[in-house]
Structure 1
Amino acid sequence: MSGRTRGRPMVTFAAAVAGVLALTGIGGYAFAQIAGCAAEDRITLDVAAAPEIVPALAAAVRRFDGHTGTCARARLRPADPAAVSTLLSGRGGGDRPDVWIPDSTLWTAFAKPGDVRPSIANTPVVLATAAPAEPTWNLLLGPAAATAEGRPESAARGPGAQVPDPSRSAAGLAALLMADRLVAGVPDGRAVFTGLVRAIRETSAPTVEQAFATSGAARDGAVVVASEQSVFRHNRTRPGVRAYGAVPREGTLSLDYPFMIVVREGDRVSAAEKLERELRGERTRADLSGHGFGIGTAEPSWTPKADDVQRIAQAYARLSLPTRLLVLFDISGSMGEEVSPGLDRLQATAQVGRIGLHLLADDSEIGVWEFSTDLRGSQDWAERVPIETLGARAGSGTQRQRILDDLGRLKVKESGDTALFESLLAAFREVKLTYKPEMVNTVLVFTDGRNDHPGGPGFDRTLADLRAEYDAAQPVQVILQGFGDDVNVTELTELAEATHGIVQVARTPAESKRLLLEAMSRRVCTPGC
């Protein structure tokens, strides 16, 4: 009896509190705090999202914050997906978010964020142009293929392709993945890929707004890799400079905005799951659609594997390194042998050199030597063009044009022998002495492949010197391309391998070109090839 008497005031007090709450409009959330969720109320979820999707999620986060019975809050902030990926991989500093909504699952190839859940939105990667078109990835690959085939520089430049930096943009990375897929098995496919990387590096990584903000960009026929949603956003904010985005006929990848729970503490995971339910609700779907996003998970024609994503990203990083290259041309008498009507060995290798030059960006540093015997007194090699940046001014033109012009003036020394070993050592030492760590430092030698200079160092001494002087901390790689049937492959292979380089043997001009393009693309694995 006494127990029932003592219980009545408590029931009365609770009812009174509930009545006050109802009258004041504080409602069930405040009552839940009084009932015991004050500890949970201290949870503030840190939600890092790709910047372009933040406006579409803002209302959903406000609904989550005010939801009855939800004691957690969410702090939604824009965050560069590449930066968060670096952070979660352990290579960057800063606080890990509780929830991460990047623009693409591709970033999970570099960092394992925790619980990766299905996408909340999607948008395909498209090619945007200044006029309606039925685009194809050949708008990007065509100019690169022209370079690989040795067509004129004007043809190789193409329609001004602009690709966002693949190291920072999922759309740019998706473009490279598509390119890799399309050139697989194609003759000179690696060279085409290398040419595409050059084109990307030489073009700034603009937004759609930057690319189409001027009449000049439209008039020049710019082709911009972008997401469909970014084209939508551009047209809504700048209707006077309209862009047209379409999926290439070969297919594409999509940005898929997965919901990732990074945090592992139980109460925070529970709060993140509640937020996820809000972001998948009908009102959020409507918000996303209103901002130009597709809803949920797209149905891709293919899904890149994590290993492929890493491989392409690493290839881009390696191929993006500027080259520092000293090229040696053998001008000994045997290089005058005709290899096709009206074309001798030296002329053929000079043509190949021109093609290789087109694959190099303007910030590459290139120089040219020739070698035979007694070219400068008793010296068997001579500098024709000093190593300089290709885009640098040289007289009335650039270093690139200076080299192109010089290659047309190479002449065979009919009485000259092949002082290969001595010239190779001199070139290796020159590049090592002037080594630049931010570049790929290489010596490339075109020769008919056999040292026949009795006055210079022999094979054993040359090999010993290369092995002793090679420095893995400052690697200088030697690439030797022999032309013809007299190449001493055994000797040249040992010399190249002393510097982690390669030997190539060509018997026709076409084969020489193909081998050089392979060598240029080989930087993907240098120096661990």
Structure 2
Amino acid sequence: MGRHSLPDEYGTDAPDPRPRTRGRTVAVATALVLTVAAGTAVAVRSDLLTFGGSCSDDAVRVDVVAAPAIAPALRTAADDAREKEVSSDGSCIDVRITARDSYKVADQLRTGTGDPGYDVWVPDSALWLQRVALGGRQTKVSPAGNIASSPVGMAMVPSAAEGLGWPKKTYNWPELAGAAMKGDKLRLGAADPARSATGLLALAKLSTSAKKSGGKDGDTQAAGMAKALSARTSDSDGQLLDTLARDSSGTEQGNPRRNQALILSEQAAFEHNASAGEENSLDMFYPKDGSPRLDYPYTLVQEDDLSTDQSRAALRFMTLFSDEQGRAILEKHGFRTGTDDPSAKLVTAAGGRTPQPYSDDPSEPPSEKELQETLGMWTITVQSARISTVVDVSDSMGEFVPGRGQTRMEVTKSSLLQALAGFTDEDEIGLWEFATLLDGKRDYRKLVPTQRLGDRLGEGTQRDKVSEAFSDLAPIPGGATGLYDTTLAAYKEAASTYAKGKFNALVVLTDGANQDPGSLSRSNLVSQLENLSDPKRPVPLIAIAVGPNADKEEVVQIAEATGGSGHQVDDPAQIHAVILKAIMEAGSHG
């Protein structure tokens, strides 16, 4: 069955539990694990498995790093397996569990540097596997199935929940968030979406719902919600619970630093309620437009470097969670297992009640694009951004986009206006345009200085001015692409006007390679950009090559000289998503 087939004890008919493609749902992954369990049962009846005897002398060590919430359950299962001498190929499995925040592990694996020092990773969400994939030299991770799940909802102290009609009244995500945005009536806290899958899944759901219901103002509404949420954000899920007000104390309830509502997983609410006592327990709202779920993927790390014994022992440990005792351990710690309706006891302990829709199917997980856009929006919303935008207005921008009936410039302007709607009034945005000999001997022209979008300028605002300038962009007849001189000049200004405490970046859009024969060379440009770039005052260049004539290799090389990133899009309509993706990537480096 190959190098990583299941241990011999499972018999030749036992299937490999690992999915062959990424992105499987919890239901599918669970079905795979249950299938493995069926194979295990056959093997047990055939006396092929040995759960006792002296196998400890040559035990196979498996090191597991897990999200802090699930680490205690895994540790219990590992201790139980050690006590019962559970074996793989005749050798005991000796599983050691270390708790570590998923975002920290993802950032380590994304760089691909050094030996991770563990064989298995169990993050709280497959979102972190996507984060790892952003790295150019990332460590190989191989998901083998999901061992548990937990829906994400909104937990409140009893007085706040009662005020919103819990449990009989149901809300969707924007309605719940909206209740917390009306003054200081309901103080809502969340964990940082850049560091918490719970926070990111909730924010992605909020953003998607706001865009669907808000029409053309949906992006602005989503950014507004993110901004309101950012005011009460904690670094991690564990720290978030420390911000909760005690319901029995009037002083705590009135303390503006204390939260009355938290975006939490069901499992986190379960654990809190287990030790909080009735007066300080939480009531759980399950939004009627769907509760996204943490899915706890069991993941082999650098599986090509694992010995056959290690990989098979690691998979052996995973299958323990498909049997009755393994599921009981997970449920005791507040996790859901399998695809059946959740245990009423578990839901009640977490603060859920009928008719809250706690047993509904999970909402469709956000796409990779939606996650990138959400994290990009979060980066610029929380930090506030200072972004200078430089747009190619050479003659070729007047060419039509295949299948659209619009020119590259028309589609580019629409995408830029869409991106602008996602910025808040605290963000600083400016605009340059460029083509050869556009302004005397210069290939560029400053149209709008980079400053705060909310600033009043005459009868309008900076936002109005930038929006108008985007709309007025037009191709210059006969103009060629003066990319190198423009990029150097724009980067010098962006670096010299760096705003501390903000996310600083330079965005350059071009539909062609450099066409200015009198300009500096590419190697000279790269060298000067490297000298100008300062890690203590980072200004990543986000260079986007638009259309079939653009040179992706060129923009990548130029951008990477500043710690930024180069991208190519066939359709200018993709510009908005690419900018947010690039901001998310650059923000995760910080």
What TM-score results when the alignment is normalised by the length of structure 1?
0.55
Report 1:353-432 matches (<5 A). Answer: 359-360=424-425
Q: 1:142 aligns with which of 170, 178, 184?
A: 178
Alignment-derived partner of residue 227 in structure 1: 265
Alignment-derived partner of residue 232 in structure 2: 203
Alignment-derived partner of residue 236 in structure 1: 274
CA shift at 1:80, angstroms?
0.7
Say if 1:50 and 1:81, in contact at 8 Å, map to a contact too. Answer: yes
Say if 1:32 and 1:69, in contact at 8 Å, map to a contact too. Answer: no
Alignment-derived partner of residue 375 in structure 2: 313
1-side partners of 2:314 and 2:495: how far apart? 55
Taking a change above 3 Å as real, the CA distance of residues 47 and 296 of structure 1, as seen in their structure-2 partners, is farther
Where 2:287 maps in the other structure, the secondary structure is coil
2-side partners of 1:217 and 1:282: how far apart? 45
Gaps of 5+ in 2: 1-49, 134-139, 247-251, 341-360, 389-419, 431-449, 462-489, 508-518, 520-524, 534-538, 543-574, 586-590
Say if 2:68 and 2:99, in contact at 8 Å, map to a contact too. Answer: yes
Say if 1:46 and 1:76, in contact at 8 Å, map to a contact too. Answer: yes
Where 1:89 maps in the other structure, the secondary structure is helix
Say if 1:48 and 1:79, in contact at 8 Å, map to a contact too. Answer: yes
Q: 2:202 aligns with which of 156, 175, 183?
A: 175
Alignment-derived partner of residue 48 in structure 1: 65
CA shift at 1:319, angstroms?
3.9
Alignment-derived partner of residue 17 in structure 1: none
What TM-score results when the alignment is normalised by the length of structure 2?
0.50
CA shift at 1:253, angstroms?
0.4
Taking a change above 3 Å as real, the CA distance of residues 287 and 359 of structure 1, as seen in their structure-2 partners, is same
Alignment-derived partner of residue 275 in structure 1: 317
Alignment-derived partner of residue 301 in structure 1: 363
1-side partners of 2:319 and 2:581: how far apart? 45
2-side partners of 1:520 and 1:48: how far apart? 36
1-side partners of 2:264 and 2:146: how far apart? 19
Q: 1:65 aligns with which of 60, 79, 82?
A: 82
Say if 1:128 and 1:246, in contact at 8 Å, map to a contact too. Answer: yes
Taking a change above 3 Å as real, the CA distance of residues 91 and 223 of structure 1, as seen in their structure-2 partners, is farther
CA shift at 1:51, angstroms?
0.7
CA shift at 1:243, angstroms?
1.6
2-side partners of 1:321 and 1:523: how far apart? 16
2-side partners of 1:520 and 1:31: how far apart? 62
CA shift at 1:81, angstroms?
0.9
Alignment-derived partner of residue 385 in structure 2: 323
Taking a change above 3 Å as real, the CA distance of residues 161 and 228 of structure 1, as seen in their structure-2 partners, is same
1-side partners of 2:581 and 2:125: how far apart? 27
- Indicate the percent of aligned positions where both proteins have the same amino acid: 26
CA shift at 1:209, angstroms?
4.0
Give yes or no for the alignment of 1:434 onto 2:506: no
Say if 2:375 and 2:580, in contact at 8 Å, map to a contact too. Answer: no
Where 2:498 maps in the other structure, the secondary structure is coil
Say if 1:431 and 1:442, in contact at 8 Å, map to a contact too. Answer: yes
CA shift at 1:439, angstroms?
3.1
Say if 2:289 and 2:363, in contact at 8 Å, map to a contact too. Answer: no
User: Letter of the aligned partner of 1:216 in structure 2?
Assistant: G
CA shift at 1:269, angstroms?
1.0
Taking a change above 3 Å as real, the CA distance of residues 217 and 442 of structure 1, as seen in their structure-2 partners, is farther
Report 1:76-115 matches (<5 A). Answer: 76-90=97-111, 95-111=116-132, 114-115=141-142
Where 2:310 maps in the other structure, the secondary structure is helix
CA shift at 1:521, angstroms?
11
Alignment-derived partner of residue 153 in structure 2: 126
CA shift at 1:249, angstroms?
1.6
1-side partners of 2:76 and 2:258: how far apart? 40
1-side partners of 2:422 and 2:203: how far apart? 22
> Can you list the C-alpha shifts for 1:223-252, whole angstroms capped at 9, x where unaligned?
321111111211222223222112112112
User: Letter of the aligned partner of 2:223 in structure 1?
Assistant: T
Number of corresponding residues:
363
Gaps of 5+ in 1: 1-27, 145-153, 327-354, 368-385, 391-399, 411-426, 444-463, 478-518
Taking a change above 3 Å as real, the CA distance of residues 137 and 74 of structure 1, as seen in their structure-2 partners, is same
Say if 1:166 and 1:173, in contact at 8 Å, map to a contact too. Answer: yes
Say if 2:64 and 2:98, in contact at 8 Å, map to a contact too. Answer: yes
CA shift at 1:69, angstroms?
5.8
> Can you list the C-alpha shifts for 1:364-384, whole angstroms capped at 9, x where unaligned?
6899xxxxxxxxxxxxxxxxx
> Can you list the C-alpha shifts for 1:105-142, whole angstroms capped at 9, x where unaligned?
22221226533233222111001122333343124653
CA shift at 1:62, angstroms?
0.8
Where 1:52 maps in the other structure, the secondary structure is coil
Where 1:44 maps in the other structure, the secondary structure is strand
2-side partners of 1:366 and 1:314: how far apart? 16
Q: 2:188 aligns with which of 153, 161, 167?
A: 161
Say if 1:122 and 1:256, in contact at 8 Å, map to a contact too. Answer: yes
2-side partners of 1:286 and 1:313: how far apart? 36
Taking a change above 3 Å as real, the CA distance of residues 266 and 324 of structure 1, as seen in their structure-2 partners, is same
> Can you list the C-alpha shifts for 1:29-80, whole angstroms capped at 9, x where unaligned?
99655xxx85x42x32111111111222322111212333622301111111
